[in-house]
Structure 1
Amino acid sequence: MNKIKYTIFGSALVVFCLSFTACDKQLDLAPEDTTVETEVFQSASSAESALMDVYNKTYEANKSTAYTIGDFTTDLLVVHNSYNQTVIAGELPVDDYTTEQIWGNSYSAINVANVIIKSVPELGTYNEDLENQHVAEAKFLRAYNYLVLLKLFGDGALTGDFNGLGLPLQLTPYEGTEYDSGKALTRSSVQEVYLQIITDLTEALPHLLDNYEEDLETRSRATKGSAHALLSRVYLYMGDYANAASEAEFLIGNSNYTLNSDLRSVFPISSGYDVPLDKEFIYAIPLTFNNGNHQFGTHYYSYYFKSSYHLADDFIAKYSDTDQRKTSLIWQGYSGGSYGAKLTSSKFNNSEGRDNIPMIRLSEMYLTRAECLARTSGVTQEAIDLLNTVASRADANFSAYSVSDFTSGTDLVDRILLEREKELCFEGLHRYDLIRTGRKLQYKDLPENRYVLPIPKREIDITKGSLEQNPGYL
């Protein structure tokens, strides 16, 4: 059994006090079959098991609608599912169960990260460098989950309103097992949340590894590369193009990451068992399989069966007939049912939903740097070279662009955005690219104040109203 199966998504340590709360400090005795924090952090192995719980919870927070909303709300797809159509129209009720799940799962991951960030320095008795690494990984995961929440719930987070309502910044573990509405946090501004994400990532960087002994760990645990890549995405969403370009540059030419000329190898036909992660992945959630039992069940990215959506003809037409992203990564999928003749994405191709899940790929960094250079410096050879690299990798018949092909930086940005759409489709990102660049989602009349999801009513009720609702849902 590979080490990664045990450490990342193997049998995690069952820690009662880490599930949703920190241990109640008033308890003198630990209940039977539970583990208290002082025991958890006495050894590197048990502390790492607690850290793996954050990775697990990050997966739970990013599966199903939390991930696919980035694509099914755009013109990439024709949607059949009535629930998804409600999401597209911005008509979710404030007591929507799925929204509650996304919010709750993300904060669950954040809370266990908080426990590690607080408890490892206080209680850890193992190697100091490894302690610092564990805290750094927890900070990366806290940052990742806060960015997920911010782009879904932060009012104005992608439209440049830094004074808009962001998120409750819970940076310490919950105390005890009972919720105290008197200690409920209010929503910090969008800017404050962004700054906390940046702080977590910059503080984590010195203590993260460049790579691990096993390549699969390098692509599925926090590294210096994944922290720089996430910072690049954060700055891009903020409109800070100079910093986004600078962070992306760290990944380009980095020996740990390589663009593969064969896109089918990047997204192989999944056996449902152990499928390696290509060197193009900077951060991903890997498929794992232990003794024949899938570790998580399915991820609920319903592309294969086409029962929820299929690919829009207008989107498919954006590819040339020699583009691998069309010839290899678009296919029939399950051919039965009402939509059998339609096409779907082959990036998620296992009939039982057992696929690796891309979170950040190297090609995103190429295109982010290209876009940001075009925005800050106009038509430059470097930006064009980056665009050409991604486009020509996918299509052997692609005719490379030159400086003379673009009359302005805006023209170049538009072409790069098209390449992002074709390259990163169905990886949960297109919605946010559309919003940040002032373009329309699938429902063209959707008001801007409904570009975000409603804050779950349950959360507002339990805080007795101290947690404010997004203005579009008042």
Structure 2
Amino acid sequence: MNKRNLYISVLCAAFIFSSCKKELLNPTPQTSVAAENAFDTEFRIESQANSLYGSLKNGQLYGGRYLVYGNVRGEDFINETGNLVTASDVWSLNLANSTTSVKGLWSQGYLTINRCNVFIDGMNAKGTAVVGTEKGAKYIAEARLVRALTYYSLLQLYALPYADGAGSKPGLPLRLTGITGPGFSDQARSTVAEVYASILDDLNFAETNLASTNGSALLNTTRAHKNTAISLKTRVYLSMGKWAEVITEANKIVPAVAPFTASANVPNALVADVTSIFKAPYTTAESIFSLPMTTSASPLDYPGTQNSLASYFYFTNATPGTTEFSLNLSGIVADPDWKATDARKSLVFTSAAAKKFVAKFVAPNPYTDYVPVIRWAEVLLNLAEARVRSTNSIDPQALALINAVRKRSDATTTIAPGSVSAFTDALLQERRIEFLGEGLRGPDLTRLLLPIPAKGSAPRKTATEAGYIWPISSDELSLNKLMTDN
């Protein structure tokens, strides 16, 4: 990462809640505060806590590009523009250390991690004494959840999957203390397993210390609570192939039988209309954690044209423009089991030229659609997959879970695979349909060491080939003498 991003001040990019509507995550400028005074008041602490979410939702990270990269690495998208700035090289699996995507995601990822570290250090040194032990632990839990999610996201691209050597391969530099001045660049890579252990330690702390509910649909969607941490742990353990642990975590909140409404904390549940998840107010019971966008331009509170999901994936005949990626007509949209009557087909737009595009993110410039991080449907499918893989058999709950997701959009279809392999194939197909455009396909392929299929002119890549994972940012390699490349 470059020096500007590595050495940050305690209050860089601070965001605060609106004084008249405290539920709105609406960043506004704030007068600079000296580092030694940054944790003097609860107002300043709250401002910094909100800034961590703001850093996570930057367009270079979860505000757009991380999801874009997870989408286009898979086989369901076709590049329309050949623009290297907007991920054509990610799509073609042909990346260099100095490319925009490699450098930008790494830089914003570690900037976010460092902001979390600086905040945690400040809370431990001073802030908790200001707000009290319980509230201080909650603030730290939010920071640790954001840090965990960021490390997890970087692992999916810059390191070999856990399944390759049980996590023994090189992972990431594991930076867990704040950097506020020069001289701290050199750090060797921890193993993949060590980074995952840190992620889980953060999420376990978050589960213990976050609120059971944040008190409103908006804050239960946009700010972390206990179910956020538990749900993310099901994703993390699934990525590690630790099926029993996925089941243990999911069982904390998923009932044994339908209806599968969360049994604890926020009553997360599948909503009847899947399309409502992607429309205002974006705060359905299914939305465990999403990142809000507003029209505020000072400071910028939306992802920007070359970062937003709508600008990458959506096209209409009425407002044509440059759309970076269409759907692969030989991909999941061609699946005969995805019926035209399935409600999720309404989230696919067909242009006059007979090209198809994702229509989940449709807000025009300045692109204020909320970005989904994790949904209840994913938790249900994570549990279904883990139950089958853990015993190599199909049980009634696994069938009920996958059919709960399918039938809420297509009541005419029942998934009834006759073998374990048929079930896992159906499960992965269901994930491709349900989360199309939400960035999960790339990580699903790599966590299972599956080849990344060819699409258009982009070649097939196996887990042993260059391009299956990303090279390390040239900025990190130039600043960190202990860093090694992939």
Give the deviation of 1:411 after TM superposition: 2.1
- Aligned equivalents of 1:292, 1:170: Cα separation in 2: 30
The equivalent of 2:474 in structure 1 is: 457
- Aligned equivalents of 1:293, 1:34: Cα separation in 2: 14
- Pair 1:187–1:393, CA change in 2 (3 A): same
The equivalent of 1:375 in structure 2 is: 389
> Which residue type is aligned with residue 41 of structure 1?
F
The equivalent of 1:386 in structure 2 is: 401
> Which residue type is aligned with residue 136 of structure 1?
A
Give the deviation of 1:175 after TM superposition: 4.0
Unpaired runs of 5+ in structure 1?
15-32
The equivalent of 1:129 in structure 2 is: 134
The equivalent of 1:26 in structure 2 is: none
> Which residue type is aligned with residue 331 of structure 1?
F
Helix, strand or coil at the partner of 2:374 = strand
The equivalent of 1:322 in structure 2 is: 341
Give the deviation of 1:279 after TM superposition: 1.1
Q: Are the aligned partners of 1:331 and 1:343 in contact in 2 as well (CA < 8 Å)? A: yes
Between Structure 1 and Structure 2, how many residues are aligned?
433
The equivalent of 1:146 in structure 2 is: 151
Q: Are the aligned partners of 1:282 and 1:361 in contact in 2 as well (CA < 8 Å)? A: yes
The equivalent of 2:44 in structure 1 is: 46
- Pair 1:426–1:101, CA change in 2 (3 A): same
Q: Are the aligned partners of 2:387 and 2:395 in contact in 1 as well (CA < 8 Å)? A: yes
Give the deviation of 1:400 after TM superposition: 5.2
Q: Are the aligned partners of 1:163 and 1:189 in contact in 2 as well (CA < 8 Å)? A: yes
Selected match of 2:359 from 323, 341, 346: 346
Question: Is 1:441–2:476 an aligned residue pair?
Answer: no
The correspondence of residues 52-67 of structure 1 with structure 2, limited to 5 A, is 52-60=50-58, 61-67=61-67
**Structure 1, residues 274-305: CA drift from partner, whole Å, max 9, x if none?**
x3321101111023345999722535221113
> Which residue type is aligned with residue 479 of structure 2?
I
The equivalent of 1:22 in structure 2 is: none
The equivalent of 2:485 in structure 1 is: 469
- Pair 1:292–1:263, CA change in 2 (3 A): farther
> Which residue type is aligned with residue 141 of structure 1?
V
Q: Are the aligned partners of 2:109 and 2:154 in contact in 1 as well (CA < 8 Å)? A: yes
Unpaired runs of 5+ in structure 2?
1-16, 255-260, 316-321
Question: Is 1:117–2:117 an aligned residue pair?
Answer: no
Selected match of 2:97 from 94, 102, 107: 94
**Structure 1, residues 61-103: CA drift from partner, whole Å, max 9, x if none?**
2233322111112121122232334223332121113211111
**Structure 1, residues 111-166: CA drift from partner, whole Å, max 9, x if none?**
11111211112112123211110001000001000001111111334645411110
Give the deviation of 1:10 after TM superposition: 2.0
- Pair 1:95–1:40, CA change in 2 (3 A): same
Selected match of 1:309 from 301, 304, 325: 325
Q: Are the aligned partners of 1:8 and 1:55 in contact in 2 as well (CA < 8 Å)? A: no
- Pair 1:292–1:265, CA change in 2 (3 A): farther
Between Structure 1 and Structure 2, which shows a larger proportion of helix residues? 1
Q: Are the aligned partners of 2:292 and 2:368 in contact in 1 as well (CA < 8 Å)? A: no
Question: Is 1:279–2:295 an aligned residue pair?
Answer: no
Q: Are the aligned partners of 2:18 and 2:26 in contact in 1 as well (CA < 8 Å)? A: no
Compare 344-353 and 101-110 and name the one that shifted more.
344-353
- Pair 1:8–1:114, CA change in 2 (3 A): farther
> Which residue type is aligned with residue 243 of structure 1?
E
- Aligned equivalents of 1:400, 1:312: Cα separation in 2: 24
Q: Are the aligned partners of 1:249 and 1:365 in contact in 2 as well (CA < 8 Å)? A: no
- Aligned equivalents of 1:239, 1:281: Cα separation in 2: 25
- Aligned equivalents of 1:198, 1:291: Cα separation in 2: 36
Aligned-CA RMSD value: 2.3
- Aligned equivalents of 2:339, 2:34: Cα separation in 1: 58
Give the deviation of 1:243 after TM superposition: 0.6
Question: Is 1:169–2:185 an aligned residue pair?
Answer: no
Selected match of 2:374 from 343, 351, 360: 360
Selected match of 2:242 from 240, 257, 265: 240
Q: Are the aligned partners of 2:68 and 2:439 in contact in 1 as well (CA < 8 Å)? A: yes
- Aligned equivalents of 1:291, 1:68: Cα separation in 2: 23
Helix, strand or coil at the partner of 2:96 = coil
- Pair 1:138–1:62, CA change in 2 (3 A): same
**Structure 1, residues 217-271: CA drift from partner, whole Å, max 9, x if none?**
1111111001001111110000101111221233423152111111121222x6x
Helix, strand or coil at the partner of 1:259 = coil
- Aligned equivalents of 2:147, 2:56: Cα separation in 1: 9
- Aligned equivalents of 1:116, 1:361: Cα separation in 2: 27
Helix, strand or coil at the partner of 1:310 = strand
Give the TM-score of the pair, scaled to structure 2.
0.84
The equivalent of 2:257 in structure 1 is: none
- Aligned equivalents of 2:296, 2:388: Cα separation in 1: 47
**Structure 1, residues 19-45: CA drift from partner, whole Å, max 9, x if none?**
xxxxxxxxxxxxxx6312332212222
- Aligned equivalents of 1:196, 1:293: Cα separation in 2: 32
- Aligned equivalents of 1:447, 1:141: Cα separation in 2: 31
- Pair 1:282–1:288, CA change in 2 (3 A): same
Question: Is 1:80–2:80 an aligned residue pair?
Answer: yes
- Aligned equivalents of 1:371, 1:382: Cα separation in 2: 11
- Aligned equivalents of 1:190, 1:141: Cα separation in 2: 19
> Which residue type is aligned with residue 77 of structure 2?
L
Alignment identity in percent? 27
Question: Is 1:409–2:423 an aligned residue pair?
Answer: no
The equivalent of 2:221 in structure 1 is: 219
Q: Are the aligned partners of 1:9 and 1:295 in contact in 2 as well (CA < 8 Å)? A: no
- Aligned equivalents of 2:451, 2:39: Cα separation in 1: 49
Q: Are the aligned partners of 2:161 and 2:449 in contact in 1 as well (CA < 8 Å)? A: no
- Aligned equivalents of 2:222, 2:272: Cα separation in 1: 22
Give the deviation of 1:452 after TM superposition: 1.5
The equivalent of 1:30 in structure 2 is: none
> Which residue type is aligned with residue 348 of structure 1?
F
- Pair 1:62–1:293, CA change in 2 (3 A): closer
Give the TM-score of the pair, scaled to structure 1.
0.86
The equivalent of 1:27 in structure 2 is: none
Give the deviation of 1:7 after TM superposition: 6.2
> Which residue type is aligned with residue 323 of structure 2?
S
Question: Is 1:256–2:261 an aligned residue pair?
Answer: no
Compare 77-86 and 387-396 and name the one that shifted more.
77-86
Helix, strand or coil at the partner of 1:93 = coil
Give the deviation of 1:383 after TM superposition: 0.5
Q: Are the aligned partners of 1:251 and 1:365 in contact in 2 as well (CA < 8 Å)? A: no
